[in-house]
Structure 1
Amino acid sequence: MEQEKRGSFSGKIGFVLSTAGASVGLGNIWRFPYLCAKYGGGIFLIVYVLLALTFGYTMIVAETAIGRATNKSPVGAFRGLSHNNKLMKLGGWINAIIPILIVPYYSVIGGWVCKYLFEYIRGDVNAIAGENFFTSFITDGAETELWFIVFAILVLVVIYLGVENGIERVSKIVMPILVLLALVICVYSVTRPGAISGVKYLFIPNFKHFSIMTVVTAMGQMFYSLSIAMGILITFGSYVKKEVSIEESTKQVEIFDTAIAVIASLMIIPAVFAFSGGDESMLKAGPSLMFITMPKIFASMGFGRVIGIAFFALVLFAAVTSAIALTESAVSTFSDEFKWDRHRGVNIMAVIMLVLGSLSSLGYGPLANVKIIGMQFLDFFDFLTNSIMMPIAALAICVLITKFMTVEKLEAEVEQENHPFKRKGVFRFMIKFLCPLFVVIILVSAVLNVFGIISM
């Protein structure tokens, strides 16, 4: 009966677009360009693509196959495959809790995007580009809270509608629009005077910029960009029908995801070069690149307001699809573990989002003096989930497959309905040896970085 009640995607297109929607979020459009810029442009891109084709590919196949084989969200999947092993059950819960902790602070940043889109629609591009616009906004607790709630409501409404009517339908509409908008802004950006220097910086590798941190940062970015070890891919895998080829779908998600990351970089990096007269130091703006540097660039353009609206609409679409996936993973866990119906699960998630999200929302304003290991709430939740919990969750997935499920059973799941598993050799080597090594390196690097022992 569980099989019949569980939601499912209508087919491969629904799964690919929904998974791509989960993957293509602020990680690609905001985080990827500034990390790519900071860690050497072309050389970072090469390292990232190589990792996506090996590490990323392996983890997407693994998580999707675990979900489909068990027809469960992370906790149930880990419990079933490990025959109730206590350590593996903990691994399942870590996978399940990650999205519950990410979506509140992610929704705060989504609220910032809503605010900027609203201001571009109604306002003055020069005011938005002003020195103190962003700072005065995020320190105003009432306004950040309002926009955070607006974004959270957008996400929760889609989750209420379910898998096929909500997530899949929204993804099928939003993802093509997102690609179209990205291409329009990209063409506009690369045709600005001086922008060609940014294109060269992005695509021509300079080996002087290479360091071990290029590899570590690219590995960390993989978790953001491909939604690895967040419980999402296991949950979405449980909605995938047996006739859908997991390997083929993974390839399409990888291509879609990497293409959007490159297009986002082409929107931002050449525009920064054009705006700054080729000043590479402008690229080091980091997270403020989207909210401070880009508005300055739009203010200097002829169609600044139009491009600003298109840019922040694109970022909003990407943020919403990712937040939907994170919330769906949490709601699916509630349904499987506590037998709550969808509406109750969404209501509980709404309360969690409001409580934890408000801490992050108010963390730069009224709660600015409250810090955890020297970090504001938003930065702390980001560090806890992405630098600590996700590498542990990924390691748990590797152990689950190699020690409990067995690589052979996972391969058999991928090969169902006579689907070929072309990169079986790569998968086997990665899941047994390199993936566990990679996630340990990410975990250790992140911890050493936060305590100032190494600089990332």
Structure 2
Amino acid sequence: METKTRENWSSKAGFILAAAGSAIGLGNIWKFPYSVGTNGGGAYVAVYLLFLVLIGTPLMLAAITLGRKTQLSVFGAYKSIDKRWSFVGFLAVICGFVILAFYSSVGGWVLYYFKNAVTGNLNTKDPQVLAGIFSNMMNSPATLIVYQLIFMALTMLIVINGIKKGIEVTSKVMMPGLFILLIIIAIRSVTLEGSMEGIKFLLVPDFSKITLEVAKNAMAQVFFSLSIGMGVMITYGSYLDKEVNLLSTAVSIPALDTLAALIAGFATIPAVFALGFEVGEGPGLMFITLPAVFASMPLGQIFCIAFFLMVTFAALTSSMSMLEISVSYFVDELKKDRKKSTLAVGIVIFLMGIPASLSLVQGSSFYIGSLSFFDIYDKLSSNILLTTGAFLLSIFVAWILTTKEAVKEIELSGIRFKLAPVWSFLVKYVVPVGVFIILFNSYKDFIIALLN
């Protein structure tokens, strides 16, 4: 019987761009700026950076190491070392389904807005008109579902072509393009008159604003943004050659991710302050406030088109990684054909996403307790499944695989891991305790919201 050779990345740069593409998505461009605005500005940024260093980066190294050691999908990675832990891999596959179900809905909004930017419909300074465009979109079931379908079709088209010809090639084009567009917009934003207040809001922390809720939101943002708890990095790491330096890789991805989030903050928040808009707008910041900001600038329509093109790139580089988690499970574990698996999984996720989209339509009955299906998918994935997955990953690598074995895998490429004792201590003790505290409160809040 002929054994099919498993795909690998064609280069380390290709892997880093793809992994960074997974990490750099709507979590950076859409969620991070509005989370900064609604969680106290610089205080939220400070807590986010602390969690990134103490929890996010150590877990990134743990995930990539586990993936490369086993050379298997996230489900197979856990199963191959200890069958009793197979459920963690399955949890990651489920998490990918749930996240992409609501993420594809927002991806559809981005495509809709890109079209409107190109046609000039967003070229107005009037927030009322822009709020009307957003409201019309949110109250049109056909618009929401059609654009969600287009977004999922684009995602499936990339993944169906595999690692080298699909995900890697797309990432090599989209990621540099994303950074170039983001930097151009950020430069324009910080050079607007009155932008300094926005820069201060973003960078100067008021530590009195740090609460457990801010900490919980910052932790969820780290996991959502870095794609750790859902198994993307285990899956992507499984396609790495043994010669690749895992240390530099595990640092490069969070660094690029954080850089993108901060540049996105500079691209939006100073401009919002400079032009007198509300920084605490929340999720509507990108769709209502920013188009008005662009319309207030010289060459505003060009900046608006560039921005939503960039957000489309970011959304797709993340969505294709989420789809790959599930597809790799069917290809690796069940030995199914990649094309058929991609189509089947993509269709199921699209169908799961329809209630999420429709739950946002005014008068919708797609609610459980006080939460819409969209909010349920969001909170279930971001605050529950991702955090649970990250907690179990740290326990597994620290105590089941053991950090000693993980360090051996890290040093296979011929490097000396001088900070191995520090990393081992963080993964064994600091990460699980820190994540568990946030996780406990997330479970409690989610259950209360469902019951109310």
- Per the TM superposition, whether the score is higher than 0.5 is yes
Equivalent residue runs for 1:177-256 within 5 Å: 177-256=177-256
Query: Matches of 1:167 and 1:411 in 2, distance apart?
Result: 28
Q: Contact (CA 8 Å) 1:3, 1:71: kept in 2 or not?
A: no
Q: Contact (CA 8 Å) 2:37, 2:281: kept in 1 or not?
A: no
Query: Matches of 2:187 and 2:173 in 1, distance apart?
Result: 22
Paired amino acid for 1:186: A
Equivalent residue runs for 1:60-209 within 5 Å: 60-82=60-82, 84-85=83-84, 88-124=85-121, 125-126=123-124, 129-209=129-209
Query: Matches of 2:131 and 2:362 in 1, distance apart?
Result: 21
Shift of 1:191: 0.9
Q: Contact (CA 8 Å) 2:398, 2:424: kept in 1 or not?
A: no
Query: Matches of 2:367 and 2:211 in 1, distance apart?
Result: 32
Does residue 290 of structure 1 match 2:289? no
1:428 to 424, 428, 431: 424
What does residue 31 of structure 1 align with? 31
Give TM-score, length-normalised by structure 2. Answer: 0.94
Equivalent residue runs for 1:23-62 within 5 Å: 23-62=23-62
Aligned-partner SS, 2:275: helix
Residues 320-340 of structure 1: per-residue CA shift (max 9 Å, x gap): 000011011110011122211
Q: Which runs of 5+ in 1 are unaligned?
A: none
Shift of 1:298: 2.1
Q: Contact (CA 8 Å) 2:216, 2:442: kept in 1 or not?
A: no
Does residue 382 of structure 1 match 2:378? yes
Go from structure 1 to structure 2 and tell me whether the alpha carbon gap of 1:40 and 1:423 turns closer, same or farther (over 3 Å shift). farther
Q: Contact (CA 8 Å) 2:358, 2:366: kept in 1 or not?
A: no
Identical columns (%): 34
Q: Contact (CA 8 Å) 1:141, 1:366: kept in 2 or not?
A: no
Give TM-score, length-normalised by structure 1. Answer: 0.94
Query: Matches of 1:373 and 1:267 in 2, distance apart?
Result: 37
Query: Matches of 1:271 and 1:435 in 2, distance apart?
Result: 36
Aligned-partner SS, 2:9: coil
Q: Contact (CA 8 Å) 2:56, 2:222: kept in 1 or not?
A: yes
Query: Matches of 2:326 and 2:240 in 1, distance apart?
Result: 18
Does residue 299 of structure 1 match 2:295? yes
Go from structure 1 to structure 2 and tell me whether the alpha carbon gap of 1:4 and 1:415 turns closer, same or farther (over 3 Å shift). farther
Deviates more, 1:159-168 or 1:130-139: 130-139
Shift of 1:170: 0.7
Residues 387-430 of structure 1: per-residue CA shift (max 9 Å, x gap): 11112211221222233211100111111121222432231111
Query: Matches of 2:214 and 2:349 in 1, distance apart?
Result: 34
Query: Matches of 1:105 and 1:324 in 2, distance apart?
Result: 14
Shift of 1:103: 1.2
Paired amino acid for 2:307: F
Go from structure 1 to structure 2 and tell me whether the alpha carbon gap of 1:220 and 1:2 turns closer, same or farther (over 3 Å shift). farther
Residues 63-96 of structure 1: per-residue CA shift (max 9 Å, x gap): 11111111111111111111x21xx121121012
Deviates more, 1:19-28 or 1:39-48: 39-48
Query: Matches of 1:298 and 1:140 in 2, distance apart?
Result: 25
Paired amino acid for 1:225: S
Count of matched residue pairs: 446
Q: Contact (CA 8 Å) 1:81, 1:400: kept in 2 or not?
A: no
Q: Contact (CA 8 Å) 2:24, 2:314: kept in 1 or not?
A: yes
Q: Which runs of 5+ in 2 are unaligned?
A: none
Go from structure 1 to structure 2 and tell me whether the alpha carbon gap of 1:346 and 1:368 turns closer, same or farther (over 3 Å shift). same
What does residue 331 of structure 2 align with? 335
Equivalent residue runs for 1:406-425 within 5 Å: 406-425=402-421
Q: Contact (CA 8 Å) 1:219, 1:438: kept in 2 or not?
A: no
Query: Matches of 1:408 and 1:69 in 2, distance apart?
Result: 13
Query: Matches of 2:3 and 2:272 in 1, distance apart?
Result: 51
Shift of 1:3: 8.5
Residues 350-382 of structure 1: per-residue CA shift (max 9 Å, x gap): 221221122222222388112123222111111
Query: Matches of 1:373 and 1:391 in 2, distance apart?
Result: 23
Please, what is the CA RMSD of the aligned residues?
A: 1.9
Query: Matches of 1:402 and 1:197 in 2, distance apart?
Result: 44
Query: Matches of 1:196 and 1:244 in 2, distance apart?
Result: 42
Shift of 1:4: 5.7
Q: Contact (CA 8 Å) 1:194, 1:274: kept in 2 or not?
A: yes
Residues 70-129 of structure 1: per-residue CA shift (max 9 Å, x gap): 1111111111111x21xx121121012111221121111001000001001013322884
Residues 151-206 of structure 1: per-residue CA shift (max 9 Å, x gap): 11111111111101111111111111100000000011111111111111111222
Query: Matches of 1:215 and 1:332 in 2, distance apart?
Result: 33
Does residue 319 of structure 1 match 2:319? no
Query: Matches of 2:218 and 2:414 in 1, distance apart?
Result: 35
Query: Matches of 2:342 and 2:120 in 1, distance apart?
Result: 35
Q: Contact (CA 8 Å) 1:8, 1:164: kept in 2 or not?
A: yes
Paired amino acid for 1:392: T
Aligned-partner SS, 2:371: coil
1:373 to 349, 369, 374: 369
Deviates more, 1:23-32 or 1:341-350: 341-350
Shift of 1:11: 2.0
